[in-house]
């Protein structure tokens, strides 16, 4: 029974404009197993599960369910066939009770709810899989862990045989995560099958029977959990044999001449939870420090605290020895911090505004561009024309709205402005993400050029290749902490991959 194949996906290709998210993925799921899907961000895990749950249709390839070919055109089709997804971001009606949420959207539910019977069934289902949750409680009263149980119950109630859990532990406390693992075990012993999407090596090792590793939209391989280890998984995940060349620098980094000093920094995320735990980090003059890590481990919060967009709960940020006022973007800008945010078009720029306005976004208050509270439009225009030429921005004219430019040119506008403010430190968050090859090359050249000119660069990126080839030192972030800082010439992908996955360095080396 355990060796029969529940799902077999073969040669799955899914293209999006400008990117191939799945490029011939092979995936085989045995009935009754917990099968982990492991990979970095952008490896194609989400796309694959979205195809399996009917959200996307593959461009090529076949899906077989219990040996028979299937084609889903909506999540409802997939659910009817017994495949259900538990999303990372819950889709619950907060003012409804647990039981009401569970039956919501279920076509078999009668027009008039038999509340007592439904409560009874939900309670029974919850007990069977060891999930403590009160069917009559309102969802808003529940903890995050309990809400996740409701999501799982929803899928079970619909009779799903295959459950896909998308990074289920990202929101859980360790105790809640253990409870979840017990629940998953209880489900598989009943013959249900679980796909467990994660990038955390420890929990993948703890919970799964088999592991399929994806990288760059392709299947790297499927291994039995009992016959592998974290080190092998990490190298499968980040790629072992890729040759990359370190960029040649004209001026060597002066690591000891510190321009950016981050000391014991703490900070909250958007929901007010601690996202940074005592981050200490330095960037020297002309040095590029790469911050490696899987997205969501505090990188964005770190960038925003340094840039003054977010308050520091502990610690301080100083530039050339001067402490910056926490939570004041203008203080950071005045102190010489340039910031290329992750969300270029709507944070780094005002997309509906012209190239001219956007180029002046950080200097419009200077006496050069405004006087007596009035803008000096001619000076803004002249400045914009100069920058557009110098940075080779392809735009019809300086009055064109930034949202009409291509991604590469959007980034050029942003970089042009940030460099034009005469910064001492640049925080660049995923500066090449989503760009085409040519644009990526030009952005990297600009960064290196700026560092050669003495700028300290904190390069936050999920692209390990980028970090390995540009950075002088590499800091690895995991769950809001800098877990290691390694000189780039001593760094190897395996070690960094392990650290990104939360493994302890001592335990593995």
Partner 1 sequence: MKSPVRLERRLEQPKWLNWAIPLISLLAALAVGAIVLLLTGKNPLDVYHRIFERGFLSTRALTGTLRTATPFAFTGLCAAAAFRLGVINIGGEGQLYMGAIGASYAGLVMGDSYPVGIVIIAMVFAGMIFGGMYAGFVGLLRAQFNTNEIITSLMMNYIAGIILNYLIFNSLSYWRDPRSAGFPSGKPLEKRAFWPSYEIAGVGISFGLILATFVAVAVWVLYKRSRFGFEIGIIADSPRAARYIGIRTKTTIVLVTALSGALAGIGGASQVGDFTHNLDAKGLQLNNFGYTGIVVAALARLNPLGAIVVAILLGGLTNAGYSLQGPDFPSGLVGTLQGLILFTAVAGEILMKYRVKRNTAAKKAMVAS
Residues that bind partner 1 (CB under 8 A): 307-309, 328-333, 339, 341, 343, 346-353, 357, 361-362, 364-365, 370, 373-375, 377, 400-401, 404
Long-range residue pairs from 394-399, CB within 8 A, at least 24 positions apart, any chain: 395/355, 397/355, 398/354, 398/355, 398/356, 398/359, 399/354, 399/355, 399/356
Strands 19-30 vs 5-16: parallel, antiparallel or unpaired: antiparallel
Give the nearer residue to partner 1 in terms of CB position, either 165 or 380. 380
Residue number with CB closer to partner 1 (50 or 420):
420
CB of 373 to partner 1, least distance (A): 5
Choice between 345 and 385, CB closer to partner 1: 345
Q: Which is nearer to partner 1, 182 or 403 (CB)?
A: 403
- Residue whose CB is less far from partner 1, 111 or 372: 372
Least separation in angstroms between residue 459's CB and partner 1 is 19
Rounded to the nearest whole angstrom, what is the least distance from the CB of residue 295 to partner 1 in the complex?
18
Shortest CB 370 distance to partner 1, Å: 5
Nearer to partner 1, 236 or 428 (CB): 428
CB of 404 to partner 1, least distance (A): 6
To partner 1, the closest distance from the beta carbon of 336 in angstroms equals 14
Least Å from the CB of residue 141 to partner 1:
23
- Residues whose CB is less than 8 angstroms from the CB of residue 19 and which lie 6 or more positions away in sequence, other chains included: none
Among 296, 244, 252, residue whose Cα is nearest residue 464: 244
Least Å distance between CB 480 and partner 1? 21
Q: What is the DSSP string of 333-402?
A: HHTTEEEE-SSIIIIIS-TTSBHHHHHTTTTTTSTTTEETTEE-HHHHHHHHHHHHHHTT---S-TTSBG
Looking at residue 271, the DSSP 8-state letter turns out to be T
Shorter beta-carbon distance to partner 1: residue 369 or 385: 369
d(CA 458, CA 263): 15
Q: What are the contacts of 358-363 at 24+ separation with CB within 8 A? A: 358/402, 358/413, 358/414, 358/417, 359/383, 359/384, 359/387, 359/388, 359/398, 359/413, 359/416, 359/417, 359/420, 360/384, 360/417, 361/417, 362/333, 362/417, 362/418, 362/421, 363/420, 363/421
What do you get for the CA distance between the two ends of the chain, in Å? 40
Q: Which is nearer to partner 1, 233 or 337 (CB)?
A: 337
Q: Please, which residue, 168 or 348, has the CB nearer to partner 1?
A: 348
Q: How far is the CB of 413 from partner 1 (least distance, A)?
A: 13
The whole-angstrom separation of Cα 298 and Cα 16 is 28
- Give the span between the Cα atoms of 305 and 246, in whole angstroms: 30
């Amino acid at each position: 029974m355990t060796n029969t194949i529940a799902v077999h996906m073969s040669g799955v290709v899914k293209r999006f404009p400008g990117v191939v998210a799945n490029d011939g993925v092979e995936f085989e799921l045995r009935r009754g197993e917990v099968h982990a899907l492991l990979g970095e961000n952008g490896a194609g895990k989400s796309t694959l599960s979205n195809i399996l749950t009917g959200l996307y249709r593959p461009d090529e390839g076949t899906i077989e369910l219990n040996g028979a070919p299937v084609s889903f055109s909506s999540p409802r089709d997939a659910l009817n066939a017994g495949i259900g997804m538990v999303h990372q971001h819950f889709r619950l009606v907060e003012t409804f009770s647990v039981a009401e949420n569970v039956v919501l959207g279920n076509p078999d539910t009668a027009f008039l709810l038999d509340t007592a019977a439904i409560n009874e069934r939900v309670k029974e289902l919850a007990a069977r899989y060891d999930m403590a949750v009160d069917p009559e409680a309102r969802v808003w009263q529940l903890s995050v862990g309990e809400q996740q149980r409701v999501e799982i119950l929803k899928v079970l109630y619909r009779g799903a045989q295959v459950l896909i859990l998308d990074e289920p532990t990202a929101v859980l406390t360790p105790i809640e995560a253990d409870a979840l693992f017990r629940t998953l075990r209880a489900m598989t012993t009943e013959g249900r099958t679980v796909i467990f999407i994660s990038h955390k090596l420890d929990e993948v090792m703890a919970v799964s029977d088999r592991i399929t590793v994806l990288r760059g939209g392709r299947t790297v391989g499927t291994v039995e959990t009992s016959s592998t280890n974290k080190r092998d998984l990490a190298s499968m995940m980040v790629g072992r044999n890729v040759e990359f060349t370190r960029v040649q620098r004209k001026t060597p980094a002066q690591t000891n001449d510190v321009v950016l000093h981050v000391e014991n920094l703490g900070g909250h995320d958007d929901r007010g939870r601690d996202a940074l735990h005592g981050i200490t980090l330095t960037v020297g003059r002309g040095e590029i420090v790469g911050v490696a890590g899987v997205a969501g481990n505090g990188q964005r919060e770190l960038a925003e605290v340094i840039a003054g967009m977010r308050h520091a709960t502990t610690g301080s940020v100083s530039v050339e020895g001067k402490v910056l006022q926490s939570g004041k973007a203008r203080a950071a800008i005045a102190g010489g911090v340039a910031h290329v945010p992750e969300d270029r078009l709507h944070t780094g720029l005002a997309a509906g505004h012209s190239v001219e306005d956007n180029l002046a976004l950080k200097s419009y208050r200077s006496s050069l561009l405004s006087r007596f509270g009035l803008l000096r439009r001619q000076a803004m225009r002249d400045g914009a024309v100069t920058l557009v030429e110098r940075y080779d921005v392809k735009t019809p004219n300086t009055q064109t709205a930034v949202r009409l430019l291509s991604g590469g040119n959007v980034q050029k506008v942003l970089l042009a402005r940030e460099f034009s403010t005469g910064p001492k430190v640049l925080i660049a968050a995923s500066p090449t993400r989503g760009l085409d090859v040519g644009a990526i090359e030009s952005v990297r050249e600009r960064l290196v050029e700026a560092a050669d000119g003495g700028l300290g660069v904190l390069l936050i990126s999920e692209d390990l290749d980028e970090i390995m080839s540009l950075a002088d030192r590499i800091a690895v972030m995991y769950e809001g902490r800098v877990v290691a800082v390694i000189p780039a010439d001593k760094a190897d992908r395996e070690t960094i991959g392990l650290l990104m996955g939360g493994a302890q360095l001592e335990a593995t080396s």
